[in-house]
Amino acid sequence: MTVVNQIKAWTGTTTCKRGEENCMYELISVTPFLIKASKTSPSTKSVSDLTFTLAPTMELSRCLVTGDAISESSMSWSENGIPYCSLEDLIIGSGLGKTPGFKEFTSDWICLGFSLGNCTTTTSLKRTIGE
């Protein structure tokens, strides 16, 4: 529930810092295999619907998490990867990005604007593309 706790920590505007996006998250629902949230960008006011789908793997100590961020406005390159960064900032902010065995698989083909993302929390994350 680390991601859920991070969403709750970044709810509202009190965690907004000048030029950063780590605020204005809203937890929508939580089930054992699905976390739904939304994120409003304080800079552009665009809203992204966020979904984390959790699936067990053959190894009991691991699980597969798929994150989706879908902009409620028309997706365009002009969003500078804000929907992607909304997911990535949660992973890094919660500490899950430093978990042993963590790997991220994405690209501009999978996530429009991925390479344009100017994420605020993720400067230390090594992006693993297509391994």
pLDDT of residue 70: 81
- Interatomic CA distance for residues 53 and 68, integer angstroms: 8
Q: What is the pTM of this model?
A: 0.79
pLDDT of residue 30: 96
pLDDT of residue 80: 60
The strand pairing partners of 53, in sequence order, are 34, 66
The 10 Å Cβ neighbour count of residue 21 is: 24
pLDDT of residue 9: 93
CATH topology for 2-116 is: TATA-Binding Protein (3.30.310)
Q: Where are the domains of the chain?
A: 2-116
Q: Please compute the mean of the pLDDT values over residues 50-67 and round it to a whole number.
A: 82
- Interatomic CA distance for residues 97 and 88, integer angstroms: 9
Whether residue 127 has pLDDT greater than 50: no
